[in-house]
Structure 1
Amino acid sequence: MDEKTEELRDIFMEVSEEGTVTERQEAGRGSLAGDEAGETERVAAVVAEMRDRYEFATDLDDDALVRVVRGYYGGETDTAVADDLGVSRDTVIRARLDLHLVRERDLDAPFELAALRRLLGDGATVAEAADELGVSESTVRKYRRVVTARNEARRVSERFRSEFEDALGVISEDFTTEATEDGLEDATDGMETNVSF
């Protein structure tokens, strides 16, 4: 202990009725780790806000959608969440995408997603996009949902995803870097970048 610290300790001891300088610290009630009801309420509020803003592809109620969010951030598979809810895996995937929760494997398309994004942006039908990309219409429909989810999420700067993470106390960097890099890639696609200094 340096001289100033000792002086402060002595002053404290003189004015305090306590016989010791430190108190035992205990975890108080209401810690972040044990507030599952509060987390659920916050996630439900975000889900309700998204429902007001977007048209959801499934008829799952808000409680089921909260379960989808918890399953996603809990590292559960879509199949496990579907089994728990008593619905199909495809229903959970659609609900997850409605909530802007895209898994890395959702991006493993047999073509460049940027190409599909451009085709859809140019007004191509599913059949035209399938023809152009050399895949089935069902494959185009599947990845159109992914592209739509990502476009919606980008338009609001991943706001809802961030709110889910805040509500659940999740620190996520798994998707952020990749999504940012992909966004820059799409934005600079076809641009000349030959710059000399």
Structure 2
Amino acid sequence: MNEKTEELRNIFTSVTDEETVTESQEDTRGSLEQDERTVEERLEGLVARMRDRYEFETPLSDAELVILAKRFYEDDTDEAIADELGVDEEDVFEGRLAVHLVRDDDADEVDLAAIRSREEDDATLAAEYGVDEGQIRRYRRVAAAVDESRAANDRYRDEFDAILADADLSKRMAKDVREDGLEDATEGMETDVEF
């Protein structure tokens, strides 16, 4: 180093704090999940935030809503979820809608946009669609849940997707890695052995 470079370096180090100029680096393992919390903790936090924001009333606790969400993403029916939780199927339906987990077949017989914009009473719509009034109330509840989710830009549904889909992907990738590693380790070995 020449004299001028040394002088500039000394000036620089005297006026700066080394920690503010450079950030220490650490080796971290790669992960699909950047969040250090468990899937369970992330789901609990999401459900708690939704309950705070929407102040929904459901007989299901936050812990039960977490189980509901997991089972929903495993494509379990409301009946199967209700059996596991020991509650009515209607409670599961209401709990799902409270946390914006709407199934494609929740209102596949009607146009939700049409139901949403209609002001007629349930009896009139039930007669028009050829269903009972309870079904119309159910469709209106689904439409309200879809609207609520859209008003939040489907943020909460996207978070459920990210948490539960990433967890599933991580499990599958870990399983594939274990299987591939075992295949590589046993490649070329004689496996037809008599005892």
TM over 0.5: yes
Aligned residue identity for 2:142: V
8 Å Cα contact 1:47/1:99 also seen in 2? yes
Report what 2:22 is aligned to. Answer: none
Give the Cα–Cα distance (whole angstroms) in 2 for the partners of residues 62 and 166 of structure 1.
19
What is the CA-CA distance between 1:160 and the residue it aligns to? 0.1
What is the CA-CA distance between 1:31 and the residue it aligns to? 5.7
Identity %: 45
Give the Cα–Cα distance (whole angstroms) in 2 for the partners of residues 108 and 57 of structure 1.
26
Report what 2:159 is aligned to. Answer: 163
8 Å Cα contact 2:39/2:163 also seen in 1? yes
Report what 1:108 is aligned to. Answer: 108
Report what 1:147 is aligned to. Answer: 143
TM-score between the two structures when normalised by the length of structure 1: 0.61
Give the Cα–Cα distance (whole angstroms) in 1 for the partners of residues 127 and 142 of structure 2.
19
What is the CA-CA distance between 1:170 and the residue it aligns to? 4.2
TM-score between the two structures when normalised by the length of structure 2: 0.62
Give the Cα–Cα distance (whole angstroms) in 2 for the partners of residues 142 and 128 of structure 1.
15
* CA RMSD across the alignment: 2.9
Report what 1:117 is aligned to. Answer: 116
Give the Cα–Cα distance (whole angstroms) in 2 for the partners of residues 170 and 38 of structure 1.
12
Structure 2: gaps spanning 5 or more residues: 1-28, 168-195
What is the CA-CA distance between 1:126 and the residue it aligns to? 2.9
- Deviation digits for residues 119-154 of structure 1, max 9, x if unmatched? 1xxx44434443554532111111111101110111
5 Å-filtered alignment, 1:55-70, equals 55-70=55-70
8 Å Cα contact 2:32/2:166 also seen in 1? no
Report what 2:53 is aligned to. Answer: 53
Q: Which has the larger radius of gyration?
A: 2
8 Å Cα contact 1:57/1:94 also seen in 2? no
Return closer, same or farther for 1:105/1:165 CA change in 2, 3 Å cut-off.
Answer: same
SS at match of 1:169: helix
Aligned match for 2:133, one of 125, 132, 137: 137
What is the CA-CA distance between 1:43 and the residue it aligns to? 0.8
Give the Cα–Cα distance (whole angstroms) in 2 for the partners of residues 93 and 73 of structure 1.
14
Segment of structure 1 superposing worse, 52-61 or 82-91: 52-61
What is the CA-CA distance between 1:77 and the residue it aligns to? 1.8
Structure 1: gaps spanning 5 or more residues: 1-27, 172-197
Aligned residue identity for 1:166: A
What is the CA-CA distance between 1:90 and the residue it aligns to? 1.6
Return closer, same or farther for 1:169/1:133 CA change in 2, 3 Å cut-off.
Answer: closer
SS at match of 1:102: coil
- Deviation digits for residues 24-77 of structure 1, max 9, x if unmatched? xxxx6x9669x9x71111111111111112243522110000001000112222
Give the Cα–Cα distance (whole angstroms) in 1 for the partners of residues 166 and 38 of structure 2.
14
5 Å-filtered alignment, 1:21-40, equals 38-40=38-40
